[in-house]
């Protein structure tokens, strides 16, 4: 697998966001300012609650196919490779990791069987789009912690994705969950969300390395990042953390993350979280690193990787 110097661009964008010319200009600036080689687009599928069986990916809270396809074409035109990662979220705000149903079907209760049927439609829709637009990788979902135990359903889904998409297929598990996915053998690339605290990288990388060696697959962090908030370096996965703005902490976290991961040859890259479509909406406390100290750290790391 080639090195992925990637950034996730405007994840879960609503319909119309990518149709705005400013979004293309933001993507161009992302490439120029960071030396990124890859961009990850994460179109959203929405279900009402973690126990809902239907996933909607055609409403106003999800990108339109035409605008997404046009943005992929533009990304290719400016020299970026594109990874597509359709991701399920819950409209009530509960994290997708808690999507869950009874393992044994119960009459009148929501069922895994129905949810996976809807999830399959969602994933295959975007797998076909990824094939048509020439995406270099397809990631079949993200951080579905409770759903990951359903081994047979995931194997069936990935087999069907391969029927319509001929590039490498991955799945993005959550932090601390890398060894809890039993079906890594059926993907081409193992990926996870690397939101690990200051001082923990060596321990966590040792643990993940065991998984990579066991399955003999390429690996990359499909998500990783830290907010520019004081204290975020200790809990980089907490998007609700409150505190004063702190660009230095965000930059220090990126420096530490890169310094440790680049010592492991099996870490094949990153999908940094995140870059906004409208740069005017960048907040001083969010994950975005546009025009913050962390941006220079990222550019330096990505430039050095390209030279090597």
What is the per-residue pLDDT across 26-43, written as a single tens digit (0 to 9) for each? 999 999 999 999 999 999
Phi, psi at residue 83, to the nearest 5°? -110, 130
8 Å CB contact between 11 and 87: yes
- Return the structure tokens found at 175: 């932090």
Render 155-177 in DSSP notation, one character per residue: HHHHHHHHHH--S-EEEEEPTT-
Q: Quick one: pLDDT at residue 125?
A: 98
Q: Quick one: pLDDT at residue 278?
A: 97
Burial of 192 per CB tally in 10 Å (0-12, 13-18, 19+): buried
Instruction: Give me the mean pLDDT over the 52-60 stretch.
Output: 97
How would residue 306 be classed by pLDDT, with cut points 50, 70 and 90? low
8 Å CB contact between 68 and 58: no
Query: 4: which residues sit within 8 A by CB, 6+ positions away?
Result: 37, 38, 83, 220, 268, 269, 270, 271
Count of CA atoms in the C-beta half-sphere (13 A) of 160: 17
Q: For residues 254 and 195, what is the distance between their CA atoms, to the nearest angstrom? A: 11
Instruction: Give me the mean pLDDT over the 151-160 stretch.
Output: 98
Instruction: Give me the mean pLDDT over the 80-108 stretch.
Output: 97
Q: For residues 200 and 10, what is the distance between their CA atoms, to the nearest angstrom? A: 28
Average pLDDT, the chain: 97
Nearest-10 Cα torsion for 207, 187, 65, 144: -50
What is the per-residue pLDDT across 239-280, written as a single tens digit (0 to 9) for each? 999 999 999 999 999 999 999 999 999 999 999 999 999 999
Query: 55: which residues sit within 8 A by CB, 6+ positions away?
Result: 45, 46, 47, 88, 115, 118, 119, 121, 122
């Amino acid at each position: 697998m080639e090195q992925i110097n990637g950034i996730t661009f405007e994840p879960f964008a609503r319909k119309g966001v990518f149709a705005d010319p400013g979004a293309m200009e933001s993507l161009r600036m992302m490439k120029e300012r960071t030396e990124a080689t890859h961009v990850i687009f994460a179109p959203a599928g929405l279900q009402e609650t973690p126990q809902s069986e239907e996933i909607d990916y055609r409403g106003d809270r999800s990108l339109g196919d035409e605008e997404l396809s046009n943005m992929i074409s533009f990304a290719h035109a400016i020299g970026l490779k594109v990874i597509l990662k359709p991701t399920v979220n819950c409209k009530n705000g509960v994290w997708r990791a808690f999507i869950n149903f009874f393992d044994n079907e119960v009459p009148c209760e929501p069922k895994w069987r129905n949810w996976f049927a809807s999830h399959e439609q969602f994933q295959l829709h975007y797998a076909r789009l990824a094939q048509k637009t020439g995406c270099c990788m397809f990631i079949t979902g993200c951080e579905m912690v409770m759903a990951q135990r359903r081994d047979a359903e995931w194997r069936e889904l990935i087999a069907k994705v391969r029927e319509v998409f001929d590039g490498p297929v991955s799945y993005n598990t959550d932090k601390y969950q890398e060894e809890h996915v039993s079906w890594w053998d059926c993907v081409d690339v193992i990926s996870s969300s690397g939101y690990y605290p200051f001082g923990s990288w060596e321990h966590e990388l040792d643990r993940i390395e065991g998984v990579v060696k066991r399955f003999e697959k390429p690996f990359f962090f499909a998500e990783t990042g830290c907010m520019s908030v004081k204290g975020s370096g200790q809990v980089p996965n907490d998007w609700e953390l409150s505190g004063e703005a702190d660009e230095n902490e965000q930059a220090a976290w990126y420096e530490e993350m890169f310094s440790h991961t680049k010592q492991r040859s099996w870490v094949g890259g990153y999908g940094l979280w995140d870059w906004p479509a409208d740069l005017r909406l960048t907040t001083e406390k969010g994950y975005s690193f546009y025009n913050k100290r962390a941006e220079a750290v990222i550019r330096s790391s990505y430039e050095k990787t390209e030279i090597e």
